[in-house]
């Protein structure tokens, strides 16, 4: 980090209070946040039975064990002596069979409901994926009309007003308004133009005005829409590392309890009595963590679904989960913290130079500059009525802006070289040509920087003629958003190519914790690596090709849908609304996912304690009357105790589905306070609820047996 200019932002009040955020609201498109609707429930019920296929059930070892128990009791219901002489009443076998069946079905229903939302959105996206005809340019320059499925990477197509964009690509010529509502749900069209970071277009969107030339960047079946459909319908969902670890622990507990139950008959035989197979199966089902086992997959699917509701496409559940543990967020200034539309607002001559000379060379350097900043220079000249001779630039070679040189310009036919760019870069270029630096250049550049603007220096050969004042503004509400991140314990670092004075002004206005000025693409990667070397997880937002390496390096890379294809391919999340501050919602959803899984795991384990007090005394009281002291719930009989525990075990899964789908409400607080809150609500609550529930069920069961 020694070679980077890294500074702290302004000081912030420590006791600032903000209202707690709730991340369970309807999305801004007005879509419903209902956990279930009739069509979804019907489909989920159908899927619940289809998922009984052992080939599917074995993916969830806990519920697979319950299904095996169901099959055994089903056999015993019709052949009571199938596994040896049995003295248990047939009705008990049938009752246990039905309870176990519903336990498995409820677990399948939870997963199917979670998958239902993603499939509904995938179906909606598939409707927008049609066979579109494309106007493809042939090598001789003529246009041929071909189906979009015939397009390949590198093909160039023309899309005019009213036509659908046939595939993912980049605008290489022109400017147009594009309706992206099929992808983002946002009705307002967006401007797509050649040059800059807003040249990426998505197949299936519609041009509503003007026309553009697009270079196709994906082959059929590999488009952004294809990937999006596959991801939202869960076809590519992979379990996260934490989910795999928890699943391993739960599977290990299941194996331990299976060993206990299998060996238990040897001990009971020694005590002089025997336990029937249905009773042993009931004991096993109550001992193993069926509640969290039945909901674990649904929690993971619902977590990705909540991200999708905010119009963020997560490429993996791992990315969502990692967002919950983020310590540092790296933010690009332009287009992220500021609006990004830096426009020329003033021409300032330096030394003894005249305004007309400055305007002439500024125009020459900008005539072929397709960036928004370059076009704004010519617009400002037109607004001010300033004249220039464009014939001077005829047949000249345009020099594009590069992050390494931080300059652009023209090499004229007569040998003259004109450059505009960062003040220090232009100064070095002029000095290398043997020129001198005007005495008031730094003073006027610093004046622009102190006002939050960006100074661009303009030079021809070895002479600097003046400065272009580019203005950019901080997006409203940024300070409050960064304060929310600070409450979550997350540090914000702004990276910008601006000089230190401009960067400091923007950093102070936005309220970031730190900023890095004159930052090049490789510097962003170094910042991320430095933070990661300190044991921190880092998130990065960006939209440009130069952000792609940093997005790939970050633990969570959030690319803007309006950005370049390279940025979207490098990131593991894409924001369809192109709102960089949405990383706050992503972080909150990640934390919510981790909290929900932890809360329901705590609740499940606490549940089991109550079930032990219900079923174990009931099994042993006949042979060991002294164990009656453990029957603290005063359950009616051993049979009713076993059935009550089993029924509660089955019913608690569907009762927790809304919580698994909606997620535990996240409120920024310290980890110790969060732990106490979870232990109180889901630990103590998880112990009390089963005692009450099992007792109530026992009272009803006692009426029938």
Binding residue numbers for Mg(2+): 543, 547
The SS3 call for residue 607 is helix
CA atoms within 13 A on the CB side of 669: 14
Q: Which of 325, 314, 304, 318 is nearest to 244 (CA)?
A: 318
Question: 106: Cβ–Cβ under 8 A, 6 or more apart, which residues?
Answer: 48, 294, 650, 651, 653, 654
Q: Which two structure tokens, joined as six digits, stand for 143? A: 């246009």
Q: What is the dihedral of CA 71, 74, 76, 82, to 10 degrees?
A: -50
Q: Pick the catalytic residue from 155, 179, 332, 575.
A: 332
C-beta neighbour count of 689 within 10 angstroms: 18
How far, CA to CA in Å, does 238 sit from each of 126, 234, 314, 318? 22, 9, 12, 8
Q: Which two structure tokens, joined as six digits, stand for 604? A: 């499940």
For residues 112 and 48, the answer to whether their CB atoms sit within 8 Å is yes
Q: Which of 556, 175, 139 is nearest to 331 (CA)?
A: 556
Q: In this structure, are strands 514-516 and 169-179 parallel, antiparallel, or unpaired? A: unpaired
Q: Which two structure tokens, joined as six digits, stand for 549? A: 């390496």
Identify the sign of the CA torsion 627, 629, 631, 634.
positive
The SS3 call for residue 403 is coil
Question: 59: Cβ–Cβ under 8 A, 6 or more apart, which residues?
Answer: none
Q: Determine the Cα–Cα distance for residues 377 and 361; give it in Å rounded to an integer.
A: 11
Question: 434: Cβ–Cβ under 8 A, 6 or more apart, which residues?
Answer: 462
Binding residues are 369, 373, 401-408, 420, 543, 547
Which DSSP symbol is given to 165? P
Which helix (H) or strand (E) segment holds residue 197: the answer is: none
Q: Determine the Cα–Cα distance for residues 679 and 669; give it in Å rounded to an integer.
A: 15
Question: 67: Cβ–Cβ under 8 A, 6 or more apart, which residues?
Answer: 52, 54, 57, 100, 104
Binding residues for ATP are 369, 373, 401-408, 420
- Sole residue written with tokens 């499925």: 149
Give bridge partners of residue 314 from the DSSP assignment.
573
Q: Which of 239, 257, 111 is nearest to 605 (CA)?
A: 257
Chain centre to alpha carbon of residue 515? 24
Q: Which of 655, 642, 648 is nearest to 702 (CA)?
A: 642
Strands of 525-669 (E only): list them: 538-542, 556-560, 573-575
The SS3 call for residue 599 is helix
In 7-89, alpha helices (H): 38-50, 54-57, 61-78
Q: Determine the Cα–Cα distance for residues 308 and 166; give it in Å rounded to an integer.
A: 24
DSSP of 231-281: HHTTTT----HHHHHHHHHHHHHHHHHHHHHHHHHHHHHHHT----HHHHH
- Is 332 one of the catalytic residues? yes
Tell me the catalytic residues.
Answer: 332
């Amino acid at each position: 980090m020694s070679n980077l200019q890294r500074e702290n932002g302004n000081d912030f009040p420590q006791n600032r209070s903000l209202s707690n955020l709730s991340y369970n609201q309807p999305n801004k498109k007005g879509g419903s946040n209902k956990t279930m609707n009739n069509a979804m429930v019907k489909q989920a019920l159908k899927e619940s039975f289809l998922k009984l296929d052992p080939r599917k059930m074995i993916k969830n070892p806990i519920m697979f064990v319950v299904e095996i128990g169901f099959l055994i009791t089903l056999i015993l219901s019709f052949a009571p002596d199938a596994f040896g002489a049995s003295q248990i009443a047939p009705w008990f076998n049938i009752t246990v069979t039905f309870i176990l069946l519903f336990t498995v079905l409820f677990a399948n229903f939870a997963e199917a409901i979670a998958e239902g939302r993603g499939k509904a959105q995938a179906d909606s996206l598939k409707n927008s994926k049609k066979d579109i005809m494309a106007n493809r340019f042939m090598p001789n320059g003529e246009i041929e009309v071909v189906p979009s499925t015939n397009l390949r990477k590198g093909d160039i197509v023309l899309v005019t007003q009213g036509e659908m964009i046939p595939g993912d690509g980049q605008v290489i010529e022109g400017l147009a308004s594009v309706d992206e509502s099929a992808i983002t749900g946002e009705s307002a069209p967006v401007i797509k133009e050649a040059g800059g970071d807003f040249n990426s277009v998505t197949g299936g969107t519609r041009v509503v005005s003007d026309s553009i030339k697009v270079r196709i960047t994906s082959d059929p079946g590999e488009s952004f829409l294809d990937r999006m459909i596959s991801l939202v319908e869960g076809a590519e969902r992979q379990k996260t590392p934490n989910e795999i670890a928890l699943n391993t622990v739960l599977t290990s507990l299941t194996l331990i309890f299976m060993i206990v139950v299998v060996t238990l008959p040897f001990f009971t035989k020694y005590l002089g009595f025997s336990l029937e197979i249905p009773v042993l199966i009931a004991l096993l089902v109550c001992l193993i963590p069926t509640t969290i086992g039945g909901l674990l997959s649904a929690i993971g699917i619902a977590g990705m679904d909540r991200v999708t509701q905010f119009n963020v496409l997560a490429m993996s559940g791992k990315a969502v989960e990692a967002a919950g543990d983020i310590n540092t967020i790296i933010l690009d200034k332009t287009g992220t913290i500021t609006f990004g539309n830096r426009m020329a607002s003033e021409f300032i001559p330096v030394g003894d130079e005249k305004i007309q000379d400055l305007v002439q060379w500024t125009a020459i350097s900008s005539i072929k500059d397709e960036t928004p900043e370059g076009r704004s220079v010519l617009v400002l000249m037109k607004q001010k009525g300033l004249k220039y001779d464009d014939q001077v630039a005829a047949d000249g070679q345009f020099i594009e802006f590069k992050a390494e040189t931080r300059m652009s310009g023209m090499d004229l036919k007569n040998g003259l070289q004109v450059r505009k760019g960062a003040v220090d870069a232009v100064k070095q270029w002029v000095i290398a040509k043997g020129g001198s630096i005007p005495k008031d250049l730094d003073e006027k550049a610093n004046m622009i920087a102190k006002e939050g603007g960006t100074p661009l220096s303009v030079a021809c050969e070895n002479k600097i003629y003046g400065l272009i004042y580019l203005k950019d503004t901080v997006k409203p509400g940024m300070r409050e958003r960064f304060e929310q991140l600070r409450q979550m314990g997350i540090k914000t670092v702004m990276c910008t190519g601006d000089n230190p004075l401009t960067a400091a002004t923007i950093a102070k206005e936005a309220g970031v914790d730190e900023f890095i000025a004159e930052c090049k693409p490789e510097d962003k990667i170094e910042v991320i690596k430095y933070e990661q070397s300190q044991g921190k997880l880092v998130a990065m937002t960006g939209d440009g090709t130069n952000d792609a390496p940093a997005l790939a390096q970050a633990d969570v890379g959030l690319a803007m849908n309006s950005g370049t294809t390279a940025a979207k391919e490098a990131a593991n999340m894409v924001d369809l609304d192109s709102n960089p501050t949405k990383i706050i919602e992503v972080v909150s959803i990640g934390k919510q996912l981790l909290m929900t899984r932890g809360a329901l795991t705590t609740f499940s384990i606490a549940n089991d304690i109550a079930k032990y007090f219900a079923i174990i005394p009931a099994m042993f009281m006949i042979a060991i009357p002294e164990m009656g002291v453990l029957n603290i719930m005063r359950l009616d009989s051993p049979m009713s105790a076993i059935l009550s525990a089993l029924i509660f075990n089955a019913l608690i899964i569907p009762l927790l589905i809304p919580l698994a789908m909606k997620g535990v409400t996240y409120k920024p607080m310290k980890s110790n306070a969060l732990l106490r809150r979870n232990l109180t609500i889901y630990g103590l609550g998880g112990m009390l609820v089963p005692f009450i529930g099992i007792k109530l069920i026992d009272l009803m069961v006692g009426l029938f047996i």
